Structure 1
Amino acid sequence: MPLVEFTALLVLATAMSFTPGPNTTLSTALAANRGLPAAMRFVLSVPVGWSALLLLCAGGLGALVLALPALRWAIKAVGIGYLLWLALRLARSGQLSEADAARLSVGFWQGTLLQFVNIKAWLLALTIVAGWVVGQPDHLQRLALVLPVMMAFAFASNLTYAAAGALLRHWLAQGRRLLWFNRVMAAVLVATALWMVAA
């Protein structure tokens, strides 16, 4: 892959991975409520689920989803419903003990499957497959290069957001700070769901 294309890939990966979205919002909220160790299952699940999505898109699933509007709407509907359900659970948790009691968590497999209903993940996977992989004579070599790079970005961005959440954990434990933090994170998830409706 030419250096200019690789540089463009890195710029796209940085912009898409480090801007807020469902994954980074959940990483932050999980670490703030339950601590960094509890959030790591989700942090690790994001690159696994996203790389599986990328591989399936490169194998033709992306073209199928684009060709079948009903399937595209089903993915969006499940994603929107799941984000709203998570937002509701998050908005109700105002103390660290409540977060533990409610088991405010998204496990490894939930996080992996979340990538398949995450519109931002689909957009990134389809953009990368269309722009850097499909139609290139060296498409397998390109995929072999793109995959670990994108996995690294997915892991680094979610770990960064989770670390920020974990750093805020003790400060948020005072008074009603955690409740308001959780409501803001829930609002971000709702805003993401609304964006998914419009997208």
Structure 2
Amino acid sequence: MPLHEFTALLILATAMSFSPGPNTTLSTAMAANHGLRHSLRFVAAVPVGWSLLLVLCAVGIGALITGMPALRWGIKALGIAYLLWLAFKLSGSGQLAQAQPAQLRVGFVQGVLLQFVNIKAWLLALTIVAGWVAGQADFTARMLVVLPVMAFYALSSNLLYACIGAALRQWLATGRRLLWFNRGMAALLVLTALWMLRA
């Protein structure tokens, strides 16, 4: 892969991975509510699920989904419903997990599956496949570059957001700060769901 294409991939990966979305919002919220250790299952699940999604798009499944409006709407509907459910659960949580049973638990398997109902993830995977992989003579070599780069960005961005959430944990334990923080995170999930509706 030429250096200018690789540089463009890194710029896209940085912009898309570190901008707020459902994954980074959940990583932050879980670490703030339950601690960094609890959020690591989800943080690890994101690059695994996203890598599987990227491979599926590279072998043509993504084009099939975008070519079938009913299937695309089905994925969007599931993703939107799941994000709204998570936002509802999160918005009512005002105490740290040690004091109250967890309101927000997204494990490894759920984290992997979340990628498949995240239309933002599908669109990014399709963009990367179309721009850097599809129709190239060195398809396999390009996938061997693109896949670890995107997995690294998915892992590092979610880990960074989880660390931020964990760093806020003590500060959030005072008064009603955690409740308002959780409501803010829930609002971001709702905004993401609304964006997905229009995408």
**Interval containing the TM-score (normalised by the shorter chain):** over 0.9
Percent identity, please. 71
Q: Is the 8 A contact 1:33 1:99 kept in 2?
A: no
TM-score (norm 1): 0.98
Q: CA RMSD in A?
A: 1.0
What are the within-5 Å matches in structure 2 for residues 78-93 of structure 1? Answer: 78-93=78-93
Find out whether 1:128 has 2:118 as its counterpart. no
Q: Is the 8 A contact 1:133 1:143 kept in 2?
A: yes
What are the within-5 Å matches in structure 2 for residues 136-151 of structure 1? Answer: 136-151=136-151
Letter in 1 for 2:13: A
Structure 2 Cα separation of the partners of residues 78 and 99 of structure 1: 32
Match of 2:5 in 1: 5
TM-score (norm 2): 0.98
Q: Secondary structure at the match of 2:104?
A: coil
Q: Where in structure 1 are there 5+ consecutive unaligned residues?
A: none
Report how far residue 123 of structure 1 moved. 1.2
What are the within-5 Å matches in structure 2 for residues 15-164 of structure 1? Answer: 15-97=15-97, 100-164=100-164
Runs of 4+ in 1 over 6 A off after TM superposition: none
Structure 2 Cα separation of the partners of residues 126 and 81 of structure 1: 23
Structure 1 Cα separation of the partners of residues 124 and 29 of structure 2: 23
Q: Is the 8 A contact 1:34 1:99 kept in 2?
A: no
Structure 2 Cα separation of the partners of residues 159 and 11 of structure 1: 19
Shift in CA distance, 158/97, structure 1 to aligned 2, threshold 3 Å: closer
Report how far residue 97 of structure 1 moved. 3.8
Q: Secondary structure at the match of 2:6?
A: helix
Shift in CA distance, 73/175, structure 1 to aligned 2, threshold 3 Å: same
